[in-house]
Chains A and B, each alone.
Chain A
Amino acid sequence: MSSFFLSAATLWQRELVRFWRQKSRILGVVASPLVFWLVIGYGSNDLARFYSGALVLTVMFSAIFSNISIIEDRREGFLLSMLVSPAPRTSLVLGKILGSATLAWIQGLIFLAFAPLAGVSISLFELLPVVAAIFLVSFTLTGMGFVLAWKMESTAGFHAIMNLLLVPMWMVSGALFPMATAHGWIRAIMWVNPLTYSIALLDHTLRLRNAAPGGVESLVVTAAVGVALLLVSGVMAARKSTRSAA
């Protein structure tokens, strides 16, 4: 059991060390959602309305970038030797997802520093649930990135997924328009979209308005999706195959 956690911890640490040595990545991930948020927020004169959505976008970008590295890492990189080590695949998945989630979380926290602009004023005590919520959302989105990336042969495929699936998912998550006024079928998509609950969860903890699903509901759905994706990732990575793992 201890070797399970040792493997997971070493991968988690590796993600952090790499991140620290490539600090410019922070700028790339935080900058575009920030610009987007400021433009649309000032443009519509409602920064608060778009804040949680932009924060989730930051976290999503970070989660995606971390998982793109799985594809390269497996062909030519550290993941290759992990695949032939006796460490359980599930511990590698846990370490990789927790590591990437931590990076996404750090970038989410950087974005959180701009919350006062959105008119958020909460006590230090109220900040704890926010910080926890950002971590949960990071974890869930990283799990989603992992599941999508694991089967991918090339990074080009992953970019296609990002443009055709993840960005549209974000667009119909309440980030741009509220669920209440959405047309029937769009509303149905929003209702099953896990990102809707991520954004609602942040809105609730930040005490912002416009959250369609309730607080408890958002928390339960986000956590359940995150755990489910972690399990799927573990099963996928542990499966033996007549096709090469790398």
Chain B
Amino acid sequence: MIQVQNLSHRYGDRVALHGVTFEVGKGEIFGLLGPNGGGKSTLFRILSTMMVPTEGTATIAGIDVARDPASVRRQVGVVFQTQSLDKALTVEENLRAQGHLHGLSGATLRERMDFAMQRLGIADRRRDLVETLSGGLRRRVEIAKALLHRPQVLLMDEASTGLDPAARREVSRHVEDLRREEGVTILLTTHILEEADRCDRLILLHQGNVVADGTPRELRARIGGDVVVLEAAAPEPLAAKIRDRFHASVTAIENHVRVEIPNGHRFITEVVEAFPGEIDSVGLHKPTLEDVFVNLTGASFDE
């Protein structure tokens, strides 16, 4: 449904995307995960036809986004990170205006509006001004608005940023339903790990490069074993010593040392005894997508 091939983009001298290639199948929920500045927004802008890439191609439903943006726009619903609703208008007025921009009117438009509002559970707020709605509700109006023209693909940019966890789960649930019941293909950008974990497949973006792709499970399995995080006053020398002694994959980031190792519980007792006084605190967890990112890039995820 979405094909991206060798896509590169520069803003002047700065390279924002570097030969990115991936494919998204019909009905998939696909994630672009990465820290801010990783290239997600650039990719999103290209796919949503807001700008043309400097190199490479991207097609949605077989249509080139740079060559025929008007046709792509008919197939794609876009949910922006920033608000795209008119706060001075009601929910219904916003949806109606959007429908008109897609050439919908009369009974068809009314039917689509009813459907979209029902789908996102906002029908009872239809006459409310958008400025009176909570962040979570506004998001749902945004999604309803993006669905009016029955797009095959929904592009969502950081759709849950700024929402509290409950509202975030609610939005996720609606997205999941859309995929299951309407067969909509969904591509979302996120820097929230929990959200990325709910995708069918994802790519990890770092400094404009795809550093990994696969299902969340596959990506986590790359690490295997456990992840032990040690807090230390002098992380660099400690990391070097651990690397020598335990032959494990060790990364020092800020005031932490991150160790990927099988049988983490045994390692903990050994490392604490081996370097008394050098370790301030110890934590153990199963690998997360953040660990995968750190393992592949050596960079911290929250930069």
Residues of A whose CB lies within 8 Å of any CB of B are 2-3, 6-7, 9-11, 13-14, 17-18, 21-22, 75-78, 80-88, 92, 240-246
Contact = CB atoms under 8 A, between A and B. Distances in A.
Nearest to A11: B97
Nearest to B79: A81
Contacts, number: 97
Given A84-B73, A85-B73, A241-B52, A7 B101 contact: yes
Given A87-B101, A243-B51, A245-B50, A81 B84 contact: yes
A17 B54 CA distance: 40
A6 B82 contact: no
A78 B85 contact: yes
A245 to B, nearest CB: 5
Given A9-B100, A84-B73, A84-B76, A18 B82 contact: no
Interface residues of B, number: 39
B9 interface: yes
Interface string B28-56: 00000000000000000100111111100
Given A17-B93, A87-B101, A242 B51 contact: yes
A86 B89 contact: no
Given A3-B103, A86-B70, A244-B51, A18 B88 contact: yes
B66 interface: yes
17 contacts: A6-B103, A7-B101, A9-B100, A10-B97, A13-B97, A14-B89, A17-B93, A75-B82, A78-B86, A78-B94, A84-B49, A85-B98, A85-B101, A85-B102, A86-B74, A87-B103, A88-B70
Given A14-B97, A17-B93, A240-B66, A84 B88 contact: no
Contact of B83 (A18, A77, A86): A77
A86 B97 contact: no
Contacts of B84: 76-78, 80-81
Contact of A77 (B53, B86, B100, B145): B86
Contacts of B10: 242
Contacts of A2: 103
Counting from the closest, the 6 A-B pairs by CB-CB distance are A3-B103, A10-B100, A85-B101, A76-B82, A80-B84, A81-B84
A77 to B, nearest CB: 7
B264 interface: no
